[in-house]
């Protein structure tokens, strides 16, 4: 079952708190990947919040793209031993 973009953001806000969820179209444009804009972006502050967001995404079959704080200091190449993969957006 697919859920709407609004519903995704609302459910994430219930799990993480409104201050941890980005859902405005203008703000989400900064998180665009390969021409696709996410339904929401989250800024979890605890491991429990990360786990809750991932559980929701898995249950709803949503793609998850991990990102750092989106500051210049985070824009570096992955460690040479890191494995990388591309997220697949559901059709």
Residue 46 belongs to a domain: yes
Q: What is the structure's pLDDT at 58?
A: 92
The pair of structure tokens assigned to 17 is: 């708190």
User: Residues 26-53: what's their mean pLDDT?
Assistant: 90
Say if pTM beats, i.e. exceeds, 0.85: no
d(CA 23, CA 42): 9
Residue 64 belongs to a domain: yes
Residue 80 belongs to a domain: no
- Provide the domain limits for residue 23: 5-74
Number of folded domains that form the chain: 1
Residue 22 belongs to a domain: yes
Residue 85 belongs to a domain: no
**Tens digit of pLDDT for each residue in 53-87?**
999 999 988 889 887 765 555 554 444 444 443 33
Q: What is the structure's pLDDT at 14?
A: 94
**Tens digit of pLDDT for each residue in 12-36?**
999 999 899 999 999 988 888 888 8
Q: State the DSSP string of 18-74.
A: GGGEE--HHHHGGG-BTTB--S-EE---SHHHHHHHHHHHHHTT---------SGGG
Residue 23 belongs to a domain: yes
Strands (E), the chain: 21-22, 41-42
9 has a pLDDT exceeding 60: yes
Residue 68 belongs to a domain: yes
Pairing assessment for the beta strands 41-42 and 21-22 based on DSSP bridges: antiparallel
């Amino acid at each position: 079952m697919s859920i709407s973009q609004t519903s995704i953001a609302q459910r994430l806000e219930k799990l993480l708190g409104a201050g941890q969820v980005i859902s405005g179209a203008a703000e989400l444009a900064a998180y665009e990947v390969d021409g696709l804009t996410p339904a929401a972006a989250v800024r979890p502050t605890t491991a429990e919040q990360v786990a809750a967001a991932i559980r929701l995404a898995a249950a709803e079959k949503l793609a998850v793209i991990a990102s750092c704080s989106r500051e210049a200091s985070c824009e570096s190449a992955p460690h040479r031993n890191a494995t990388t993969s591309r997220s697949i957006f559901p059709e």
